[in-house]
Amino acid sequence: MSTTPTNVLVAGAGPVGLATALLLRARGLPVTVLEAAAERAPRPGSRAIFLHRQSLATLAAADPALGAELVRHGLVWGTRCTYFAGREVHRRTYVPPPADRAPFSSLPQPVMEELLRAACHRAGAGIRWNTPVTGVTPSSDGVLVRTPDAVHRATYAVGCDGARSAVRRAVGVGLRGPRSPYAFLVLDVADDPGHPLPLERAFHYRDPRVDGRNVLTVPFRGGLRVDVQCRPDDDPDALGAAADDWLPGLLPAGHARTVTWSSHYRFQQVVADTLTDAHGRVLLAGEAGHLFAPFGARGLNSGIADAAAAAAAAATGDVSGYAAARHRAAVLNRRAAGRALAHLTAPDPWHRAAQRLAAAAAPRSRRAGRWLDSAPYGPRDAGIPGSRY
């Protein structure tokens, strides 16, 4: 085996890993990304579709061309609406600002990754595909990262390798927190030019079109994300297999309804015990350090915030400051996502009664309608400033 010197190693070439590499290069640090999969291999697991304003600003500060491309390839929809048992209880329509002041961008994760890869190449960040991390040994003066064909020496390593992080396991860090008993079925539906999708984010409480389940639909460039909350006794696989029966009712009449991706989850609400190792040489970012229910788009966007903080920590050596600040943000995000999850699942009579009363009051009270519209996404102030769904 050869020994390869470098300054910072990043494990994982998903959006958070690529963002970390780009932000490290913006600070002048040499960086190499190690990715277990092949370059064009499809990624298992969740797929993000929503970048907050702050995430766009963070990435644009490192590469202005990237910031512009993320907006140009994305969608900024101008309407948010909420329904209760088929009746509209809230609607807000606004004129989206110019592209250079976009409040968010809604685009598929594979497109995000393609744009981030190109930005990393422009910046001089190396990416090694088919290179899984098999071991990590930190010490007081650096870190050794093992892969099947080499031992890589670095000043720091940043684990951005997702929920099953090899880096996190290698340094013995655990995750703590609950797992939701409720499953959610998620589908992406391609645009049909002959029957265009509505450019609005819509949340449906007790949607009669799917037998009273909650449904969220979010447009993105090229399609629509459909998120269905399963009942406790639902079989998510069976519900997904029956999509031809209920999906047409959620789409414009005659829509081709081509499903490009689907999955189902029981969301975890977990945070790593610590976001660094005992020597302060390994940092955990994104889903390697925390997993949330995605309401409010907290997963990817908190990961971009982690990436910026990790790059600053590697540049300044303040790894303990990184670990403290981003762990605090992760706990806040978990709490906010937990509040959203509790609202969505309405596990007790009080929650259900509050929703019914707000829906009844909404025609006369904008405050009631706004609450029904905002509560499924949790509070704003949770460590990732910017707009949300």
* pLDDT, tens digit, 9 for 90 and up, residues 253-280: 889 889 999 998 888 889 999 999 999 9
Predicted confidence (pLDDT) at residue 388 exceeds the cutoff of 50: no
Give the residue, 387 or 109, on which the prediction is more confident.
Answer: 109
The CA-based angle 52-54-60, given to 5 degrees, is 105
Mean pLDDT across the stretch 119-133? 97
pLDDT score for 386: 39
**Average pLDDT estimate for 20-39:** 96
pLDDT at 89: 97
Residues 6+ away with beta carbon under 8 Å from 88: 81, 82
How far, in Å, CA of 39 to CA of 35, rounded?
8
Mean confidence (pLDDT) of the chain:
91
The predicted structure's pLDDT at residue 5: 46
**pLDDT at position 292, please?**
87
What digits encode the pLDDT tens for the residues 130-161?
A: 999 999 999 999 999 999 999 999 999 999 99
Q: What is the pLDDT of residues 165-223, one digit of tens each?
A: 999 999 999 999 988 888 999 999 999 999 988 899 999 999 999 999 999 999 999 99
pLDDT band at 385 (very low <50, low <70, confident <90, very high): very low
Q: 40-58 as b/e, with b when 16 or more CB fall inside 10 Å?
A: eeeeeebbbbbbbbbbbbb
Give the pLDDT confidence of 57-116 residue by residue, as tens digits.
999 999 999 999 999 999 999 999 999 999 999 999 988 777 778 899 999 999 999 999
pLDDT band, very low/low/confident/very high, at 2 (cuts 50, 70, 90)? low
User: Would you state the pLDDT for residue 44?
Assistant: 61
Res. 389: pLDDT tops 50: no
pLDDT > 70: what percent of the chain?
95
Helix segments in the chain, DSSP class H: 15-26, 53-62, 64-72, 109-123, 166-170, 236-241, 243-246, 298-316, 319-345, 349-361, 366-374
Least confident range of 308-317, 323-332, 380-389: 380-389
